[in-house]
Amino acid sequence: MTSRKNPLLQQVKKLLSSRKAREEAGLFAADGVKLLAEAVRWYPGLDTVILSDGVEAEVPESVRLFRVPEDVMASISPMESPQGALFLCRLPERKTYVPQPGCLLLDGIQDPGNLGTILRTADALDIPVTLLEGCADPYGPKTVRAGMGAVFRTQPVKADWAEVKTACAEAQIPVAVTALSRRAKDLRQANLRSMAVVIGSEGQGVRREILESADGELIIPMNKRCESLNAAVAAAIVMWQMKQ
């Protein structure tokens, strides 16, 4: 495959740049030899692999494999220094939200780096994650890269707040939000294993709709010189506390 105008390569470029294209095609694209190895090991939806000439990688016989010159790879790779591997995966089927204690709910986490880091930490600690409205695409290239392929091992559920709140209430699982307020409870004093915890975006925090209907508020104790924490750091602290 030597032409940069090849339909497959054009599709890869669209999948790398557009969430809408990914959703319409039912595919997402990722890059890198290490991420490819993770997909080969863990993800049943690996569909197509494109390697630069001279790059070696383990690819199952059931997966389509193409080779391209280095300059062609450079023209479609999202990386400044391409690693010589791009691949397509089928998007997983959407899962129905099932309420469970000791889980994380993400509200409006729009930064792909933060979302990927949170998913990576959740994967390491075996914490279920649900994405509420306004989150970045977990299958965007920056998110997949930041998560070090966490989405190949465990896929987050997507749901809206009304659905989550109703389901948790019926299952008698309290929902708490992280908030910087005087009435918020020190999370070290809460039994996080028994509840679902909402993390909001750095800029806006948790939406008012959720704040007003949640069962409680939690705060991560900090010195008074610090206004807030990075969303991924806050999520990591909450998840670690859930495991205690």
Number of domains in the chain: 2
What is the domain-level CATH number for residue 194?
Answer: 3.40.1280.10
State pLDDT tens for residues 210-225. Answer: 999 999 999 999 898 8
State pLDDT tens for residues 185-201. Answer: 999 999 999 999 999 98
Which of 57, 90, 123 finishes a domain? 90
Domain presence at residue 118:
yes
pLDDT band at 84 (very low <50, low <70, confident <90, very high): very high
State pLDDT tens for residues 134-171. Answer: 999 999 999 999 999 999 999 999 999 999 999 999 99
State pLDDT tens for residues 170-187. Answer: 999 999 999 887 789 999
Domain presence at residue 2:
no
pLDDT band at 32 (very low <50, low <70, confident <90, very high): very high
Strands (E), the chain: 27-31, 46-52, 64-68, 85-90, 103-107, 129-131, 157-158, 175-178, 185-186, 196-200, 216-219
Range of the domain at 108: 103-243
